[in-house]
Structure 1
Amino acid sequence: MPEREISATILNEPRLVVRKFLARPQHEGLGAIVRRSIGRFELKYFDPFLVLDEFSVTAPAGFPDHPHRGFETVTYMLQGAVTHEDFEGHKGTIGAGDLQWMTAGKGIVHSEMPAAQGTQKGLQLWINLSSKHKMIEPRYQEMMSKDIAEAAQDGIKVRVIAGEALGTKSPIYTRTPTMYLDFTLKPGAHLQQPIPKSWNAFVYVLEGEGMFGSSKSLPVTGHHLLLLGSGDGLEAWNKSSKTLRFILVGGEPLGEPLVQFGPFVMNTQEEIDQTIDDFENYANGFEKARHWRSESALSLDL
């Protein structure tokens, strides 16, 4: 999609960085490596966000057949390609710059496996669903890189995955109100991006180094998660000689009780117990799991 040139935004109350984490590598799935920044011991939940992983997968490693209930997964590819399959009959391969937004709702079993040679890299974000949406029917949205809206201004480029930036909106539908923006800042660029005041928001740095919240803050480098405090938006500067790339994600807090058991996220322990029972007995949303296995699982004899 062609880039748009747009006028600058002025913030009245820029958000400051209140916490910073370095996401260190850990093993996950079948031989995959992830850098987990949300969903770890120090930050188990950042309402409405449950998990943020920067993953690195080389075949035959991957994420074979596994269930979900009660939230959405957002997979954004940075390098290589991954094939998704689920028991609703959805199957698709997403490559660098492509996006998959999956609503697990009342239940889904799916697999995510490498679809190219070498190492596949990307981000996966888990977004909680409100109690009224946890048991909705599963939904799957896929967007190719060429269809993701982009805009540019004064050395800033943004890919608008969800929400709005630089006057450009995403067509992705989000049950939990969410913004997901992929920014690239050239050396010397200065960004001011509005964020709804009531939302929680964070930055995850992909490459380069930047200053966030204050022009006097220390530069932050790749694989760091920055939690933002209160205010009406984010200010960021690239004062280095290299390109800065980061994602800015914000969402409306649900403010509801949270009980999580691995891939199941509900509001009460009773609901978690029921979910485990449903999954084990192929009921209440998991009926199709009884006879379904992904093609990748069959080929690996998993």
Structure 2
Amino acid sequence: MAEHPLHYRAVDMDEGAGAHVKRLFPVAGLRHVDPFVLLDEFFVDPGGGFPEHPHRGFEAVTYLMNGAMRHRDNLGNDSIVQAGGAQVFTAGRGIVHSEAPAGEETAHGIQLWINMAKIHKDLPPAYQAIAAQQLPLQELSCGRVRTVIGPGSPIHLHSAVSYHDVQLEQEGEFHLAVPAHHAGLIYAVAGEPEVVDERLETGAALLLAGASVITVYTSAPCRFICISGQPHGEPIVQNGPYVD
């Protein structure tokens, strides 16, 4: 685990058409966490969304925690993913898509952009819809953990990434091994998980590098995500929806 993890708070802002996000990065003071380009916790009411727009040069995972999200793109895909599921696209040389809530509930989730190594940026675009039942769910003595990306998950990216959604319903702790060569973070979605003697408020994160085993404690219900990835060690050049 990193000896001195860094504590950051997401920035509230509006995006798309009526969407509200808590953006951990890129913002002033924290541009990127190689290989990760963007992390948004989003809240989109019915009638809002992200109208048709282009992307290239990265992969994106939109993980739903509540509600449902509809994805449509220029590859002919048109799908709806419910809470607990994910929408994944490889932008590669270029994709055009839109996202909007499906149904009457607010769509709430996490969108994560992962940079593609230069040798992969010209790959053809692709899309995958993953239902909640396809993602491994492990029951813990004090809650549960869903593996979004990792062993047992059907999501395979062009970068080495690990991604878990952890819900602790009572006092307890959670342990997670993180590869030594990964850069990672823990982001608090609800409640106040504690790690490395740091109590995270909702919407805050700890960045971790050179990790071995993370232990997260809680004395009350909380929810957080743990992500890590192997850095590409290449410049991340982001121009709005493009990562070149």
Identify the TM-score tier after normalising by the shorter chain: over 0.9
Give the deviation of 1:156 after TM superposition: 4.3
Give per-residue Cα distances to partners, 1:238-260, cap 9 Å, x unaligned: 1x2x2121110000100012221
Give the number of the structure whose residues are more often strand, by fraction: 2
**Structure 1: distance between partners of 2:3 and 2:146:** 23
Q: 136, 140, 155: which one pairs with 1:172?
A: 155
Runs of at least 5 residues in structure 2 that lack an aligned partner in the other structure: none
**Structure 1: distance between partners of 2:178 and 2:198:** 22
Give the number of the structure whose residues are more often helix, by fraction: 1
**Structure 1: distance between partners of 2:209 and 2:233:** 17
**Structure 2: distance between partners of 1:193 and 1:120:** 28
| Alignment correspondent of 2:189 | 206
Give per-residue Cα distances to partners, 1:149-205, cap 9 Å, x unaligned: 1113332421011114xxxx3221111010010112233322221111010000111
Q: 124, 137, 140: which one pairs with 2:111?
A: 124
| Alignment correspondent of 1:292 | none
**Structure 1: distance between partners of 2:226 and 2:198:** 18
Give the deviation of 1:137 after TM superposition: 0.9
Q: Secondary structure at the match of 2:129?
A: strand
Give the deviation of 1:70 after TM superposition: 0.3
| Alignment correspondent of 2:212 | 232
**Structure 1: distance between partners of 2:41 and 2:240:** 18
Q: CA RMSD in A?
A: 1.5
Q: 75, 78, 103: which one pairs with 1:88?
A: 75
Q: Secondary structure at the match of 2:231?
A: coil
Runs of at least 5 residues in structure 1 that lack an aligned partner in the other structure: 1-13, 267-302
| Alignment correspondent of 2:6 | 19
Larger radius of gyration: 1
* Equivalent AA in structure 1 for residue 176 of structure 2: Q
Q: TM-score, normalised by structure 2?
A: 0.95
**Structure 1: distance between partners of 2:94 and 2:12:** 29
- Count of aligned pairs between the two proteins: 244
**Structure 2: distance between partners of 1:22 and 1:52:** 12
| Alignment correspondent of 1:219 | 199
User: Contact 2:134/2:153 (CA < 8 Å) preserved in 1?
Assistant: no
| Alignment correspondent of 1:141 | 128
Counterpart check, 1:182 vs 2:182: no
For the structure 1 residues 115 and 92, does the alpha-carbon distance in structure 2 shift closer, same or farther, using more than 3 Å as the test?
same
**Structure 2: distance between partners of 1:157 and 1:151:** 6
Give the deviation of 1:92 after TM superposition: 0.3
Give the deviation of 1:17 after TM superposition: 5.6
* Equivalent AA in structure 1 for residue 235 of structure 2: P
User: Contact 1:17/1:226 (CA < 8 Å) preserved in 2?
Assistant: no
Give runs of ≥4 in structure 1 deviating > 3 Å.
14-17
| Alignment correspondent of 1:265 | 243
Q: Secondary structure at the match of 2:223?
A: strand
**Structure 2: distance between partners of 1:118 and 1:185:** 24
Higher mean displacement: 243-252 or 229-238: 229-238
**Structure 2: distance between partners of 1:63 and 1:122:** 14
* Equivalent AA in structure 1 for residue 158 of structure 2: R
